Homo-oligomer: A and B are copies of this chain.
């Protein structure tokens, strides 16, 4: 492949998305595509640019913590065509809230970690490690 206009091999798609060929076959088994991927006469997968676009969105959703099961639900909605936009919206809104919460949690943890860093930095710079030994109050 790699030579038809718009006909992409699994390797092409792997390169374009950063996913491995194993992952792409896994995604297909898990029904994470928005359409059945056609095959050549010899049985090899033929992707199109739209599949790559979809996978790039999947990457964003996965990276932001969406489980495969939820991605599967979303893919199923898109696959079944127009008419369920409200459901897609609800799913995306829920994920948006999840990501916002995750960012808030991380930000809170970051503050605590930064406080520790500041304390350690001070002690290390001063060479006065004494008084800073154990977990508390400033591990």
Report which A residues bind B (CB closer than 8 A): 34, 50-51, 53-54, 57, 60-61, 63-65, 78, 81-83, 85-86, 88-89, 92-93, 95-96, 99-100, 102-103, 105-107, 109-110, 112-114, 116-117, 120-121, 123-124, 129-130, 132-137, 139
B64 to A132, Cβ gap below 8 A?
A: no
Q: In the complex, how many angstroms separate the beta carbon of A44 from the nearest chain B beta carbon?
A: 22
Q: List 23 A-B contacts (CB under 8 A).
A: A34-B139, A50-B135, A50-B136, A53-B136, A53-B137, A64-B109, A81-B133, A82-B130, A82-B132, A85-B124, A85-B129, A88-B120, A88-B139, A89-B120, A92-B113, A92-B116, A92-B117, A92-B120, A93-B117, A96-B110, A96-B117, A99-B106, A99-B109
Contact of A117 among B78, B89, B102, B107 (CB under 8 A): B89
B34 to A135, Cβ gap below 8 A?
A: yes
Q: In the complex, how many angstroms separate the beta carbon of A61 from the nearest chain B beta carbon?
A: 7
> Which residues on the B side are within 8 Å of A107 (C-beta)?
103
Given contacts A82-B130, A82-B132, A85-B123, 13 further A-B contacts (CB under 8 A): A53-B135, A60-B109, A63-B105, A64-B109, A85-B120, A85-B129, A88-B120, A92-B113, A92-B117, A92-B120, A99-B106, A99-B110, A99-B113
